[in-house]
Chains A and B, each alone.
Chain A
Amino acid sequence: MLAVIGKRLAMAVPSLFGVSIVIFLLLNVLPGDPLAGLLAPDATPADRAALAKQLGLDAPLPVQYVTWLTKLAHGDLGQSFSRQRPVAELVGTAFTNTLVLALAAAALGLTIGMTMGIIAALRTGSPVDQLISILSMMGLSVPSYWLAVLLIIIFSATLRWLPSAGMHGINGGTIDFLKHLIMPAIATSAVTVGMVAKTTRASLIETFGHDFVLTLRAKGLSGWRVLEHVVKNAAPPIMTMAGLQVGYLLGGSVLVETIFSWPGLGQLIFQSIQSRDLRVTQAAVLVIAVTFVLTNLAVDILQTLVNPQLRRAG
């Protein structure tokens, strides 16, 4: 068992190393000038060269990569050029904001998704089941950015209930914070609702069909007791799907965060790509990649724990 987990962990290491190279290369071939936003409107090429030298951007790429990796190993992510702040602080704050949004979306998505899935499974073939099937299919197909715009049209532009931008932390009060949170959370959770509802329904239906359920029923167990057993058996695939969804939500959504000006990782990455702030982009993408790898790892391990077959195969 431990060997399997160890093997999975070991496999993640080269992945992360590859990730660091991909991130570094990808962003260093950006066609724009990382110094563009930092110079006076009419700075000369000589001014530009001088600044590049000051900031160590004139070194060859491999040298820059090694420098970056070495500093990274020491926990030093450097200073952002365009924001004049430590990169670690910027990424940390953004990650916290994305975490809040991801948890809200996950809570929303998992609750609604599982509820829908359970109802559908209990009423297989009924109109309710069909409606839920259609709804979950719509949920996992809807473009998050369109849903976001629709929500803004309805709740901001027409009803004027909710603000469409300007999240400014918890200090505006809990109510104010929740008002800012609700639309981005709904827009990001639609896919989760769809996926979880489908998985829950499928898993429950499969379990219902198993012999042991019939046996339990035959034994005269009450409906609730049977359900308890069913849930126990149907849970693993649902948990796996939930885990994958959380991993996906933790990556932050560039589109939804940009639309609602939510100061999370997605918005930070998009803005720093635009301002060619390489250090911030690299660090933020790295954080997402690490989170993603770790979440997938956790899901893998979870799968191994609950499934004896995989334990052997692994």
Chain B
Amino acid sequence: MNRRTLLQFTVQGAILAPAASLLMAACSSVASPAPTAAPATGASPAASPAAALNGTGGTLVIGMTAGNIPYPNTPPNEGAEGSRFVGYNIYDALTRLNVEQGNTTPVPSPGLAESWKTASDNLTWTFQLRKGVKFHDGTDFNADAVVFQLNRLTKKDFAFFDPLQAAATASFTMMIDTYQAVDPQSIQIKTKSPYSFLLWDLLLVMIPSPTAVQKYGTKDYVNHPIGTGPFFVTKYVDGQIMELAPNPTYWRGKAKLDKMILRPMPDPASRLAALQSGDINWAEVPPPDSLAQLKTQGYNILLKTYPHSIVLDYNLSKPPFNNVKARVALQYAIDRNRMCNDLLDKACSPAYQWMYTGHPWYDPTVGDKYQYNPAKAKQLLTEAGYPNGFKINVAYPTGGSGNMWPGPMMELVQSNFKDVGVTMTMAPLEWNDILTIYRAGFATPENQKYDAMYFSPNTSTPPSLLGFATSRIQPNGCCNVTGYSNPKVDALFQKAESEFDTKKQDALLQQAMGLVTDDSPVAFVVHDLNLRVLSPKVNGFIQPMSWYCDFLNVWVSK
């Protein structure tokens, strides 16, 4: 450090120090060392629930984590954030998640289908469609519209077959064998085998206006998206902005907002800056370091447990992770409390199982046994035949929807592993490359160079658990990336799939997840808490226990 350099420091310090000290004062609340073992129910939203019921109007401006405006197709792109902000605002599906409440994990509820029943063969479903629903272009929603969309997604010889949309929904339509309109208000769907998860799959089959698809064609449709949803698009500039206005004849009632604006803001610090300058009034996932400061400034910080976690998928096809003791050892090596309390300012909760504590599929008999215990980790590593640890290469995404803060979180895991003698190199990959590994599986030659991978599984639906099924090991199925195979787990999945009683189904899935916890094909890291920050002017929003949101009762005060 020479004099010139020091001088520069001083000059910079003079400019920045006042700001820094202010911010430091705001952020000086020391994180409590108590572990957040219990699922954080999170701050309750909507500062004044009474006022929330009374007002109406205003413009909601959302800063999304996406790098671009998701295109308004069925489904949109930009990952699940596309469905959250664009898809379900423009479209409905036959079933919908009851995300308008914040007390239970949402389940498939009546959407465009008012009711449904299954025949005694457990294969044939008849959906009674909602009457009087109209698309934004004024045309009627009916059974033909559903058939049209299923044709568009599954029939290669259909004039409006859309290969991209078909690829994006393939896993949601794959169990459908046949479908037909019984009459204008009902539709029959037959599955390939008894499949009780169909209602979950149908959530992501959004229904566009057949008239619009025909009129504009596959290529131009995204510029004229027409659905039955609570909002319609009034403006859409790729890379910059999307504006939505409420659908006055929405079947669940007209949304209270005058206008909703979506902005792509991939950088967390930018979302924070935009929120504080009033450019946006709804920020997704700002930097966790800013939370204390935002709280003192009166912003509503929304955190709530929901089925979405961060894990390390292990490559079970080769040493060291073909050894169950080595896998279990590392479960004890991760200091999850430190990660949640110190690194992420309580924006996550420690994960000891695939599901969070209290979820129907969380196995209480197995419990939270993987508490941080480096001594035990070392001992297990010795028992596994690795007294001096080992070296692993772990892929992780540099960004992407729903991945929280992969870099800093992985670096902490890396440091945890180092403490028990395991040397981990980090291989940064684009989110799309991570998805490619996920689809192809670790066992393929080109993915053998990775021992594990950071992943953010959506754990909200029963089909999402099937990534642990033997039948989903590539190339026969998708996507059991780890190559995990346990006949007992397979049998439980099989039973759950053909079990139409939700309670019994939950019990079976809980048992399966207990076995998975013992076998540890993945390292559980944390459960995401769906961090978002709202300006105090945003009222009426209920943070659901879901990735998705309901905007019907949201309004913005002047």
Contact = CB atoms under 8 A, between A and B. Distances in A.
A, B in one complex: yes
A75 interface: no
A130 to B, nearest CB: 15
A35 B16 contact: no
Interface string B275-306: 01101100000000000000000000000000
B113 to A, nearest CB: 22
B239 A51 contact: no
Interface in A39-76: 39-48, 50-51, 54-55
A289 interface: no
A274 interface: yes
B175 to A, nearest CB: 12
B263 A166 contact: yes
B270 A165 contact: yes
A168 B237 contact: yes
For B222, B240, B265, which residue has the most chain A Cβ atoms within 10 angstroms? B240
A38 B164 contact: yes
Given A41-B171, A84-B164, A163 B237 contact: no
A83 B71 contact: yes
A90 interface: yes
Interface stretch (B385-393, B470-478, B542-550): B470-478
B507 interface: no
B98 to A, nearest CB: 23
B466 to A, nearest CB: 8
Contact of B279 (A89, A152, A166): A166
B353 to A, nearest CB: 21
A32 B270 CA distance: 28
A43 B439 contact: yes
Contacts of A43: 167, 170-171, 439, 478
B67 interface: yes
B435 A37 contact: yes
A62 B477 CA distance: 33
Contact of A84 (B71, B166, B167): B71
Contacts of B100: none
A32 B167 contact: no
A83 B68 contact: yes
Given A85-B222, A160-B276, A90 B238 contact: yes
Contacts of A81: 164
A147 to B, nearest CB: 13
Interface residues of A, number: 56
B517 to A, nearest CB: 22
Interface in A68-108: 79, 81-86, 89-90, 93-94
B37 interface: no
A261 to B, nearest CB: 6
A51 to B, nearest CB: 5
A167 B240 contact: yes
A207 interface: no
B15 interface: yes
A208 B73 CA distance: 65
B34 interface: no
Contacts of B67: 261, 271, 274
Contacts of B267: 164-165, 259, 261
Contacts of B219: 79, 84, 86
Interface in A119-178: 152-154, 156-158, 160, 163-169
Contact of A42 (B15, B265, B478): B478
A51 B479 contact: no
B16 A38 contact: no
A41 B163 contact: no
B375 interface: no
A40 B170 contact: yes
B10 to A, nearest CB: 16
A42 B279 contact: no
A152 B472 contact: no
A39 B240 CA distance: 24
A261 B164 contact: no
A46 B438 CA distance: 15
Contact of B265 (A44, A165, A275): A165
B279 A163 contact: yes
A244 interface: no
Contacts of A31: 433
B342 to A, nearest CB: 22
A42 B240 contact: no
B16 A153 contact: yes
Contacts of B68: 83, 271
Interface in B491-520: none
Contacts of A271: 67-68
Nearest to B72: A84
A243 interface: no
A37 B274 contact: no
B374 interface: no
B311 to A, nearest CB: 15
Contacts of B439: 36, 39, 42-45, 48
Nearest to B475: A45
A36 B240 contact: no
A294 B36 CA distance: 61
B474 A45 contact: yes
A42 B166 CA distance: 13
A31 B429 CA distance: 11
B63 interface: yes
Contacts of B170: 39-40, 43-44, 47
B314 to A, nearest CB: 18
A5 to B, nearest CB: 38
Contacts of B222: 84-85
B276 A166 contact: no
Contact of A44 (B271, B458, B478): B478
B168 A164 contact: no
B122 to A, nearest CB: 23
B435 A166 contact: no
A101 B494 CA distance: 58
B240 A276 contact: no
Given A40-B168, A166-B265, A152 B430 contact: no
Contacts of A152: 269-270, 273
Contact of B433 (A36, A167, A267): A36
B50 interface: no
A37 B222 CA distance: 17
B273 A164 contact: yes
B169 interface: yes
B270 A40 contact: no
Nearest to B168: A40
A156 B433 contact: no
A14 B438 CA distance: 43
A42 B171 contact: yes
Interface string B230-252: 00000001111100000000000
18 contacts: A38-B164, A42-B171, A43-B171, A45-B474, A45-B475, A83-B238, A84-B219, A156-B273, A158-B16, A165-B267, A166-B270, A261-B67, A261-B264, A261-B265, A267-B239, A271-B67, A271-B68, A274-B431
Given A41-B458, A45-B439, A263-B238, 18 more contacts: A32-B430, A36-B433, A38-B77, A39-B170, A42-B472, A43-B167, A47-B167, A81-B164, A84-B219, A93-B237, A93-B238, A94-B239, A156-B277, A160-B273, A164-B274, A166-B279, A261-B264, A274-B67
8 closest residue pairs by CB, A with B: A165-B270, A263-B239, A36-B432, A158-B19, A54-B163, A168-B241, A40-B171, A33-B436
